[in-house]
Amino acid sequence: MAEKIGVYVCHCGTNIGKTVDCKAVADYAKGLPDVVVARDYQYTCSDPGQEMIKKDIRELSLTRVVVASCSPLMHEGTFRRAVGNAGLNPFLFQMANIREQCSWITEDRHLATERAKAIVGAAVMRVAYNEPIEVKKVPVDPNVLIVGGGITGIEAALQLADAGKHVYLVEKEPTIGGYMARFDKTFPTLDCAACILTPKMVFVGQHENIDLLSYSEVIGFQGYVGNFTATVRRKPRYVDEEKCNGCGTCETKCPLSVPSEFECGMGKRKAIYRPFPQAVPSTPVIDREHCLYFTKGVCKVCQKFCPSGAIDFDQKEKVVDLKVGTAILATGFDLFDPSRIKEYGYKRLPNVITSLEFERLTHASGPTGGKILLKNGKAPESVAIVHCVGSRDRNYNEYCSRVCCMYSLKTAHLVHEKTEAKVYEFYIDMRAFGKGYEEFYKRLLEEDVTFIRGRVAEVTDVAQEQSEKGKLVVVAEDTLLGIVRRIPVDMVVLSLGLEPRKDAVQVAHTFSISRSKDGFFLEKHPKLAPVSTAADGVYIAGSCQGPKDIPDSVAQGAAAAANALSLIDRKEVELEPTVALIDEESCSGCKICVGLCPYNAITFDSTKNVAEITVALCKGCGVCVASCPSGAIEQQNFTNRQLLAEVEAICA
Amino acid sequence: MNKAYDKSTRIVCKALDVKISELDDWNCCGASAYMSIDELKSHLLSARNLALAEKEKKDLVVVCPACLTTLNKTNHYMGENPRLKRTIGSALRAANLQYFGTVKVRHLLEVIVNDVGENEIKARVKRSLSGLKVAPYYGCQLTRPFGEIDDKEFPMLLDRLLTWLGVEPVNFPMKAKCCGGMLAMTSEKVGLNLARGLIQNALDNGAEMISTICPLCHMTLEAYQGNVNKLFGTKYNIPILYFTQLIGLAFGFSRKALGINEELIPSQPVLEKYLEVVR
């Protein structure tokens, strides 16, 4: 039976109409085989435009529709819905792009019109071979996996749990809280980080809808949107979380002290420890590398004194599988390692410290009880703060780490508040972009901090003059004065940039998501889908996507939770319709496609000796289709017949 | 005094079984004034050396960081700039030469540390220099601009080598700063001040001697030490030896074979304290 094809050529105002003679293209289309109607129209995507198509389908019994207008990315969905509403299968519609691929790229009206005719002709030939496709739906598991228990993961977990959804929050450290738990004050309001964070941590620990899996890591993630299985490795704490009441006796009694990671090595912790007193969960862990029982087979003092019998030296690693429908990655960032910049002298020159070490120095419960002190125990008389360490630098990271200008201002404020020291800030550009940030900068300008505009060239203890003896000399070109400045100070604080986590490659691979050039996780769209990823049902939030401050991280945590909720409450999701299908008869079992599939959608059935595609995982990228030497794989809506018809029409 | 660098280089390479042969018909690398006056001429001089080395299918090893930088610069620019590559190509053709860009240019220090390595060197140490405090001086060009062979600002290659020889490399924060040699003609005072800073820093850190890897640095620190003293009223008298001379000493070669009697500031008073028989 011959098809009845309707063709609609859109002027798109002057976007197409100015360079393409749309009426001539429509007239040309009328002469093509099986075309029963062809019209040109000002704005085909408008309501009257869509109505016109629907009316033709009903009155002229059209079986196929071609719209020649913009890119399918713009309005393919619009027209498929319109065609579907009029009773045709949406896949019996074909879009011909005569805007981005025609009118916008040439000025010659004659050539543009001829080109438009060729494109429309190809679409008409192709649409005759389009086949109806039924879109499959699968149910969505309402449980959510959240990876990372920093402020971003905490916010996402609480939003979802409060909405009644069950959350598995996986954190690799013994406690949640992330970097924020180590900060003293937060910019620009200077409220204490712990005061606003720890209540949220407690809620997470107590929430009936949150399963907190601390000291654990996700090692596998299989399945498809709405139906994932996460494999989680739970490292042994050697303390039973059920029995432990968090009294802390074990920590007091443990005889062995080692440098505390939480305090950047500046303070001590015991071999059985909680990173900090408000840790959640409050159950301590035994550090196997140092514990006297594990290293020398003696001691067991903690076990002797534990009032609830919670110490269990025989605890083993456990691997658990969790069923979830969606996942939120909030794995955060690593700090730049400043010892890579040798000329700044970190680890070589005492009193060159990092911004995180400064946070611990100034923190009331830190190693100095909140006093800003030099290594010799004296208060500094002068402090230099160095911006952009590892950021905005082609040798290390080209991007701006966004948070350093603001936290450097906070550093300056705290030094000013707590000591008599003279404060110098060396900056490249001052970036105070957020709400209340510029006001905070202004406040610091009035606090008598000396701002020097110039990237620091080096920090040296080689004195050139008497006044520099025994000091750290910060050398920088002052780009406002055009001279080289040498400023002798007692302490240098390096404001470290933010980097992707060292294991971001593996995590991205585990969750089948991509990373951007800088190594951070890649969002689906930088503006319009900032927390979605190329993997449906997997969301990213916070600094794992790029450097972010606390307000932005919290906003993204909540946004990712809302995205997950929207998916869960839809109850079922539509799967990608244009999937690839394998013809078992033609498959030679060579397995080439298995390794190439970027979504791990292809498995090999060794009994039948053929490759199999899990349709729910397929994204319709077409890689397997192109790679199959036997031509055994065909992608729906991109069949050989359809594509060849297009090519034939263009070449004719 | 550069004769000493030549002698000690040949003797040490032979002892370490590093097969070097002098590039036949070589010319100036194109450093010196060319680079600032006519860059193309500088590239052409470099390219001629590179073309000659490519014919021999060997790495081009130099003992001067300025040669290293200049040759590498031509290599790099030819790879980046097709027009320059064509210009150089036609100039070379006029001399019946061609260059495909395959030659690797290396400094001898890096060859000895990375290719020969710790074990081979330690095995050949026959004489103890134990306790001798040496400031390892790299100069400004060995690791810049790309830092391919060592950290740009704080290299360690020479420090490691000296340790293998039993010598004690002192902490030397100025080890990769400019010696001032390039300014000797144009801004003498500025240049001498740079040299002064280096010598002072070496002495402040307890060095009895400075070891160099560059003939120009070597000349600046040694031949201009008197000028530094005159200008700044200092009384510096610190000997300067090439790294190859120190290797040779540790390997047991005679002072004469290594040119250790030709320096302007005698090293003998320092060496005597550590080498009982240095004759």
- State the ipTM, two decimals: 0.84
Question: What's the distance, Cα to Cα, between the start and end of chain B in Å?
Answer: 19
By the CB < 8 Å criterion, does A464 face chain B? Answer: yes
In this structure, how many other beta carbons lie within 10 angstroms of the beta carbon of residue A399?
18
Beta pairing, strands A352-354 & A272-273: unpaired
Tokens of A198: 């720890």
Write the residue in B151, B152, B173 that is nearest to A462 by C-beta: B173
Q: Summarize pLDDT for A66-81 with one digit per residue, the tens.
A: 999 999 988 999 999 9
Sheet bearing A93-97, strands edge to edge: A35-41, A5-10, A64-69, A93-97
Q: How confident is the model at residue B1, as a pLDDT? A: 59
Interchain contact, A461 vs B174, CB within 8 Å: no
Kindly report the average pLDDT of chain A as a whole number. 95
Q: How confident is the model at residue B82, as a pLDDT? A: 93
pLDDT band at A619 (very low <50, low <70, confident <90, very high): confident
Q: Summarize pLDDT for A362-407 with one digit per residue, the tens.
A: 999 999 999 999 999 999 999 999 999 999 999 999 999 999 999 9
Mean pLDDT of A292-305: 95
* Beta strands in B222-263, from DSSP E residues, in sequence order: 240-242
Conformational region of residue A369, where left means phi above 0, alpha means psi within -120 to 50, and beta covers everything else: left
Q: Name residues 338-397 of chain A within 8 A of B (Cβ).
A: 341-343, 395
Contacts of A98 (CB under 8 A, 6+ apart): A9, A10, A16, A20, A25, A68, A69, A115, A116, A119, A120
Write the residue in A342, A461, A462 that is nearest to B153 by C-beta: A342
Interchain contact, A464 vs B197, CB within 8 Å: yes
Residue of chain B whose Cα is closest to the Cα of A460 = B173
Contacts of A580 (CB under 8 A, 6+ apart): A613, A618, A620, A622, A624, A625, A633, A634, A635, A636
Interchain contact, B173 vs A342, CB within 8 Å: no
Q: Is the pLDDT of residue B277 over 90?
A: no
Mutate which: B153, B170, B196, vs A, most A CBs within 10 A: B153
B-side interface with A, Cβ within 8 Å? Answer: 147, 151-154, 173-174, 197, 201, 204
Q: Fill in the DSSP letter of residue B158.
A: H
Within 13 Å of residue B199, how many CA atoms lie on the same side as its CB? 27
Residues of B in contact with A462 (CB under 8 A): 173-174, 197, 201, 204
Interchain contact, A461 vs B173, CB within 8 Å: yes
Q: Write down the H helix ranges in A570-614.
A: 592-596
Interchain contact, B173 vs A460, CB within 8 Å: yes
Write the residue in B151, B197, B201 that is nearest to A342 by C-beta: B151
- In DSSP notation, A184-221 reads SEETTTTEEHHHHHHHHHHHHHH-TTEEEE-SEEEEEE
In this structure, how many other beta carbons lie within 10 angstroms of the beta carbon of residue B125?
16
Write the residue in B153, B197, B201 that is nearest to A343 by C-beta: B153
Q: Is the pLDDT of residue A1 over 70?
A: no
C-alpha span between A250 and A273 (Å, rounded)? 8
Q: Is the pLDDT of residue B279 over 50?
A: no
- 3-state class percentages of chain B: helix first, strand second, coil last, to nearest 5: 50, 5, 40
Domains and CATH numbers, chain A: 5-127 (3.40.50), 144-331+504-569 (3.50.50.60), 335-499 (3.50.50.60), 580-636 (3.30.70.20)
Residue of chain A whose Cα is closest to the Cα of B204 = A462
Residues of A in contact with B147 (CB under 8 A): 395
Residues of B in contact with A350 (CB under 8 A): none
Residues of B in contact with A343 (CB under 8 A): 153-154
Domains and CATH numbers, chain B: 22-57+60-103 (no CATH), 117-274 (3.40.50.11810)
Inter-CA distances, A399 with A337, A396, A500, A544, Å: 16, 9, 12, 14
Q: Summarize pLDDT for B124-178 with one digit per residue, the tens.
A: 999 888 999 999 999 999 999 988 999 999 999 999 999 999 999 999 999 999 9
Contacts of A11 (CB under 8 A, 6+ apart): A17, A22, A40, A41, A42, A43
Q: Name residues 422-461 of chain A within 8 A of B (Cβ).
A: 458, 460-461
Interchain contact, A462 vs B153, CB within 8 Å: no
Residue of chain A whose Cα is closest to the Cα of B172 = A462
pLDDT band at B278 (very low <50, low <70, confident <90, very high): very low
